[in-house]
């Protein structure tokens, strides 16, 4: 059976670009393991992410629009799948390691809070040590999953998770591909969701940007991917100056219109109150925490445990927990 994995590793050596990350050259895991006889280390990591509880909870976590009425708005899970598809397209075109790319893409938002970035901002204000979802994604796979034993992922995947959005760029081209894919995905599906929600009209998009990137979501995504592939090298991924400027202009437009739209954001004050109430109640009544989080409270502090617990909640679970703590129940006569 070991020959199956070794054959895959041989194929990687033959077909991947010089700058790609070969699975046989991984820096390894925090805790050494015997290699899988069939799968490469990056294939194992992808599978561990897909099968973990945090990944399943993404289906009930907000992307942009809080608890929207309708079946077609993005959730954190559908966003993750779109990022994975775009990242794999980029990786295949550049002959990078698709398995590593997919593992990073599927795990990049595991640490995201309920209620999207509104929940992230609320926790960041409450926690003495701050809160960033990309740092929490790493903590999820290192500490919280598998009943607090962690997934024990490879160094390359862990690096891609924590560097997928801000600050230092990932050490691998595959991680860089995911970072670009995340930007391409959220910008375009947020436009589509905003149009569906009625907070944006297609004709409002800047005409100079549309002329460069395209009129439709499909055209924009195709233009961005094709340009990135055409202008990247074996050491760096990059847009052309023209397309890069158009993307930044669109990014600025979205932040000045959709992301601050009163209709789309009118519920965010409630998010702050819900997250704040949960945080205060759990910090002062740590006996309400599940057993595993109690252990974190004793070992790393109450704040750390409460932050971990709340950040892992789905939107629905956060609301149910708030109701259980603070909303009076009807009296039932026995």
Residue 103: inside a domain: yes
| CB half-sphere exposure, 174, CA atoms < 13 A | 32
| Shared domain check, 284 and 259 | no
Residue 334: inside a domain: no
Give pLDDT tens digits for 137-178: 999 999 999 999 999 999 999 999 999 998 999 999 999 999
Out of 220, 241, 265, pick the residue that ends a domain: 265
Q: Helical H runs in the chain?
A: 2-15, 41-50, 53-57, 76-93, 98-107, 116-126, 133-139, 145-148, 155-162, 173-197, 207-213, 217-231, 241-256, 262-265, 268-284, 291-300, 302-311, 315-326
| Shared domain check, 213 and 75 | yes
The pLDDT of residue 71:
60
Instruction: Select from 50, 84, 104, 130 the least CA-distant residue to 307.
Output: 130
Other Cβ atoms closer than 10 A to 34: 5
| Shared domain check, 285 and 235 | no
Number of domains, the chain: 2
Q: Which residues contact 8 (CB under 8 A, 6 or more apart)?
A: 23, 39, 40, 43
> Cα torsion at 301, 140, 147, 273 (round to 10°)?
60
Query: What is the per-residue DSSP string for 315-330?
Result: HHHHHHHHHHHHSPPP
Residue 205: inside a domain: yes
| Shared domain check, 297 and 222 | no
Residue 332: inside a domain: no
The pLDDT of residue 333:
65
| Shared domain check, 39 and 163 | yes
The pLDDT of residue 101:
98
| Shared domain check, 225 and 245 | yes
Q: Residue holding tokens 């608890």?
A: 67
| Shared domain check, 181 and 138 | yes
| Shared domain check, 235 and 133 | yes
| Shared domain check, 141 and 16 | yes
Other Cβ atoms closer than 10 A to 37: 11
Residues with pLDDT less than 70, the chain: 65-72, 261, 263-265, 332-334
- Phi and psi angles of residue 75, each rounded to the nearest 5 degrees, phi first: -110, 175
* β-pair partners for 126: none
Out of 248, 265, 282, pick the residue that ends a domain: 265
Residue 315: inside a domain: yes
Residue 333: inside a domain: no
| Shared domain check, 249 and 291 | no
The pLDDT of residue 194:
87
Out of 233, 249, 265, pick the residue that ends a domain: 265
- Distance between CA 80 and CA 268 in Å, rounded? 22
Cα angle 35-169-128, degrees, rounded to a multiple of 5: 95
Q: Which residues contact 46 (CB under 8 A, 6 or more apart)?
A: 99, 102, 103, 106
- Distance between CA 234 and CA 17 in Å, rounded? 7
17: domain CATH number is: 1.10.3210.10
Residue 157: inside a domain: yes
Q: Which residues contact 249 (CB under 8 A, 6 or more apart)?
A: 206, 208, 209
* Burial of 207 (C-beta count, 10 Å sphere; 0-12/13-18/19+): exposed
| Shared domain check, 309 and 197 | no
| Shared domain check, 297 and 241 | no
* β-pair partners for 154: 29
Give the domain range for residue 22: 2-265
Residue 62: inside a domain: yes
Q: Helical H runs in 19-95?
A: 41-50, 53-57, 76-93
């Amino acid at each position: 059976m070991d020959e199956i994995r070794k054959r895959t590793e041989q194929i990687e050596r033959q077909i991947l670009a010089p700058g790609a990350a070969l699975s046989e050259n991984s820096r390894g895991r925090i805790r050494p393991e015997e290699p899988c006889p069939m799968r490469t280390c990056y294939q194992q990591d992808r599978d561990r992410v897909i099968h973990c509880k945090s990944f399943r909870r993404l289906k009930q976590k907000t992307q942009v629009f809080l608890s929207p009425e309708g079946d077609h708005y993005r959730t954190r899970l559908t966003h993750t799948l779109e990022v994975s598809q775009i990242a794999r397209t980029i990786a295949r075109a550049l002959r990078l390691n698709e398995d590593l790319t997919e593992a990073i893409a599927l795990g990049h938002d595991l640490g995201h809070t309920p209620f999207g970035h509104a929940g992230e901002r609320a926790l960041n204000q409450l926690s003495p040590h701050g809160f960033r979802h990309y740092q929490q994604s790493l903590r999820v796979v290192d500490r919280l999953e598998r009943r607090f034993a962690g997934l024990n992922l490879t160094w390359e995947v862990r690096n891609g998770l924590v560097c997928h959005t801000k600050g230092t760029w990932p050490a691998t081209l595959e991680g860089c591909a995911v970072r670009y894919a995340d930007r391409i995905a959220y910008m375009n599906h947020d436009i589509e969701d905003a149009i569906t929600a009625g907070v944006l009209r297609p004709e409002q998009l800047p005409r100079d940007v549309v002329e460069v990137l395209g009129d439709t979501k499909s055209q924009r995504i195709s233009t961005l991917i094709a340009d990135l592939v055409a202008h990247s090298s074996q050491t760096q991924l990059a847009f052309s100056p023209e397309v890069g400027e158009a993307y930044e202009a669109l990014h600025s437009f979205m932040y000045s219109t959709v992301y601050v739209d009163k209709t789309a954001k009118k519920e965010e004050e409630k998010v702050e109150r819900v997250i704040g109430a949960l945080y205060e109640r759990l910090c002062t009544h740590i006996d309400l925490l599940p057993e595993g989080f109690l252990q974190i409270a004793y070992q790393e502090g109450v704040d750390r445990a409460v932050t971990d617990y709340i950040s892992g909640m789905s939107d629905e679970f956060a609301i149910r927990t708030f109701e259980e703590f603070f909303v009076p129940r009807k009296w039932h006569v026995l």
